[in-house]
Amino acid sequence: MRFLHAFILLVALAAPSASWAVEPDEMLSEPTLEARARALSKELRCMVCQNESIDDSGAPLAHDLRVLVRERIKAGDSDQQVLDFLVARYGEFVLLRPRLSWHTVALWGLPPTVLLVGVVVILIDLRRRRAAQAAEARTNLTVAEEARLRELLRDSSTP
């Protein structure tokens, strides 16, 4: 029973929680603006952690970016204006999901291309295996079948 309790406690402590990163002094008093800020924060990459959103990160830079997002929202910027401002300031790397453009085509196109090539390779391999099995089945004749084949070939070669 102790093991179960220890395991549950470990899972609870290890589970990421976005509410731990966002500090109470950062939050906006108006719930709709705060909801917008949280939604935007989930789309922005922490430049320190790199694989976390600024909403999940406890890094000082993430804190600064969360505050900046909220300041821009309070100033009346739309969500797109906030994202454009941050991209202009930090580059496209700040976005967790980069926009599709000419320099991100490989990023977006490579996974489907690799998947498609893999499917084609598997289909070609299956066809080759089936052809090899069919050829093997044709060559495995019994003694009686070989004798009959020789007889048919003799009959067809004489006019």
What digits encode the pLDDT tens for the residues 86-139? 888 888 888 887 777 777 677 778 889 999 999 999 999 999 999 888 877 777
Least trusted range by pLDDT, from 5-19, 70-84, 96-110, 138-152? 5-19
Burial of 73 (0-12, 13-18, 19+ CB in 10 A): buried
d(CA 41, CA 22): 10
Report the pLDDT value the prediction gives residue 129, as an integer from 0 to 100: 92
Q: What are phi and psi of 45, to 5 degrees?
A: -85, 140
**Per-residue pLDDT, 159:** 60
The answer to whether the CB of 46 falls within 8 A of the CB of 57 is yes
Determine if the pTM surpasses 0.85: no
- The per-residue pLDDT for 18 is 41
Distant-in-sequence, close-in-space partners of 82: CB < 8 Å, separation ≥ 6: 40, 69, 72, 73
Report the alpha-carbon distance of residue 150 to residue 147 in Å, rounded.
5
The domains of the chain, with CATH numbers, are: 17-94 (1.10.8.640), 105-157 (no CATH)
Q: What is the pLDDT of residue 30?
A: 78
Concatenate the DSSP letters of all residues of 12-67 into one string.
HHHS--HHHHS-TTTS-SSHHHHHHHHHHHHHBB-TTTSSSBTTT--SHHHHHHHH
Which one is predicted more confidently, 10 or 123? 123
> Which tens digit of pLDDT belongs to each residue from 27-66?
776 788 888 888 888 888 888 887 888 888 888 888 888 8
Q: How large is the average pLDDT for residues 81-89?
A: 90
CB burial of 36-60 (b: ≥16 within 10 Å; e: otherwise) equals bbbebbebbbbbeeeebbbbbbeee
What is the DSSP code (8-state) at residue 140?
Answer: -
Query: In sequence order, which residues have a C-beta less than 8 Å from that of residue 16 and are 6 or more positions away?
Result: 56
